[in-house]
């Protein structure tokens, strides 16, 4: 089955039809720079252009870089403030109209979408337990999975570290803005991930976003107890995750590991039978 995925980002809006059985793009993705200002109407028009480029008719899923509750944006850390409390799903559905073939656009937080894709087809494919997906880009996005199931809208990129919102210091954008060496930036990323680790004790951390393509430049500087791996689907994770979520697939349940019983010495009441 094919579903259209759109990834709405701060610099580009990109989309492609996705083969949801194997998580591959059915055609090369098409990208249009995010309009300025990135208000709801302009963004919706651009999303429609991306979808029309493929002459698509059918279900569409979209990512959005904010907390999304029932299709409505609740925050706007790195997007136009006019998005707060906007029904993103309704706005996009109106702009796409008949291209949707009678369905509504489903909308999901961008990091949650990337995480869903990585858990289904990428770096988290075989992992049970607690997985934290992080995306380092304009901001820091996070997605949390327990035994393959998404816990949506975790906003751990805004953890306060040394008095600062973490993403203002350790995002990919912060590295570029402050012209940090990879070494210096990696130290900040490490401090950030060590904080996440100390609070959640995950089994796996996946690093995605723009930085995941340059893993060789900073992975050696990371010193964490948790296994850390780069994302595998890179630029396509958002598109693939958006398509999966559009058909209700935000979870790939994993077997829950059974707790191992520690057997103590058999105890019997003195002179009697076991109760």
- 155 belongs to the binding site for ligand BGC (CB under 6 A): yes
- Torsion from C-alpha of 237, 243, 245, 246, nearest 10 degrees: 160
Q: How far apart (Å, rounded) are the C-alpha atoms in residues 50 and 42?
A: 13
- Size of the residue set binding ligand BGC (CB under 6 A): 16
CB atoms within 10 A of CB 15: 31
User: Does the footprint of ligand BGC cover residue 236 (CB under 6 A)?
Assistant: no
Q: Select from 131-139, 173-181, 221-229, 263-271 the region that touches ligand BGC (CB under 6 A).
A: 131-139
Could you give phi then psi for residue 20, rounded to 5 degrees?
-80, -10
The single residue among 17, 157, 210, 238 that binds ligand BGC, judged by CB under 6 A, is: 157
Instruction: Convert residues 174-213 into a mask of x (bound to ligand BGC by CB under 6 A) and - (unbound).
Output: ----------------------------------------
- Which of 135, 190, 226, 235 is in the footprint of ligand BGC by CB under 6 A? 135
Query: Between residues 65 and 122, which has the closer beta carbon with respect to ligand BGC?
Result: 65
Cα dihedral 94, 96, 102, 108, rounded to 10, equals: -80
- Of 89 and 135, the one with the shorter C-beta distance to ligand BGC is 135
Give residues 55-94 in contact with ligand BGC (rule: CB under 6 A).
Answer: 65-67, 75, 77-78
Q: Which is nearer to ligand BGC, 78 or 235 (CB)?
A: 78
Q: Which C-beta is closer to ligand BGC: that of 108 or that of 228?
A: 108
* Residue 43 beta carbon to ligand BGC: minimum distance, rounded to whole angstroms: 14
**Rounded distance between C-alpha atoms, residue 226 and residue 270, angstroms:** 46
Shortest distance in whole angstroms from residue 275 CB to ligand BGC: 54
With a CB cutoff of 8 Å and minimum separation 6, the contacts of 105 are 60, 61, 62, 88, 89, 92, 93, 96, 246
In terms of CB distance, is 188 or 254 closer to ligand BGC? 188
CB of 262 to ligand BGC, least distance (A): 40
In Å, what is the CA distance from 264 to each residue of 261, 268, 272, 273?
9, 12, 19, 17
Residues with Cβ within 8 Å of 131's Cβ and at least 6 positions away in sequence, in order, are 115, 119, 124, 144, 145, 146, 202, 203, 204, 205, 206
Residue 150 binds ligand BGC (CB under 6 A): no
Q: Are 3 and 237 in contact (CB under 8 A)?
A: no
Binding residues vs ligand BGC (CB under 6 A): 65-67, 75, 77-78, 109-111, 135, 137, 139, 141, 155, 157, 167
């Amino acid at each position: 089955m094919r579903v259209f995925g759109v990834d709405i980002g701060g610099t580009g809006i990109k989309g492609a039809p996705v083969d949801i059985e194997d998580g591959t793009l059915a055609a090369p993705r098409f990208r249009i720079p995010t309009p300025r200002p990135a208000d709801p109407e302009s963004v919706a028009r651009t999303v429609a252009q991306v979808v029309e480029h493929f002459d698509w008719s059918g279900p569409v899923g979209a990512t959005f870089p904010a907390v999304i509750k029932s299709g409505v944006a609740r925050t706007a850390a790195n997007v136009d403030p006019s998005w707060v409390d906007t029904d993103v799903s309704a706005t996009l559905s109106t702009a796409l109209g008949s291209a949707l073939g009678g369905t509504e656009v489903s909308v999901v937080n961008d990091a949650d979408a990337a995480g869903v894709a990585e858990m289904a087809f990428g770096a988290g494919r075989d992992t049970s337990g607690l997985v934290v997906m992080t995306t380092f880009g304009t901001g820091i996005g996070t997605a949390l999975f327990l035994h393959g199931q998404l816990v949506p809208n975790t906003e751990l990129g805004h953890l306060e570290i040394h008095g600062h919102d973490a993403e203002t210091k350790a995002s990919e954008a912060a590295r570029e803005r402050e012209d940090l060496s990879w070494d210096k930036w990696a130290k900040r990323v490490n401090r950030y991930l060590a904080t996440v680790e100390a609070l959640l004790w995950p089994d796996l951390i996946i690093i995605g976003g723009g930085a995941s393509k340059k893993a060789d430049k900073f992975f050696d500087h990371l010193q964490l107890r948790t296994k850390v791996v780069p994302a595998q689907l890179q630029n396509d994770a958002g598109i693939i995750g958006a398509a999966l979520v559009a058909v209700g697939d935000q979870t790939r349940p994993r077997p829950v590991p059974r707790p191992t019983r520690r057997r103590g010495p058999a105890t019997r009441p003195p002179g009697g039978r076991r109760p």
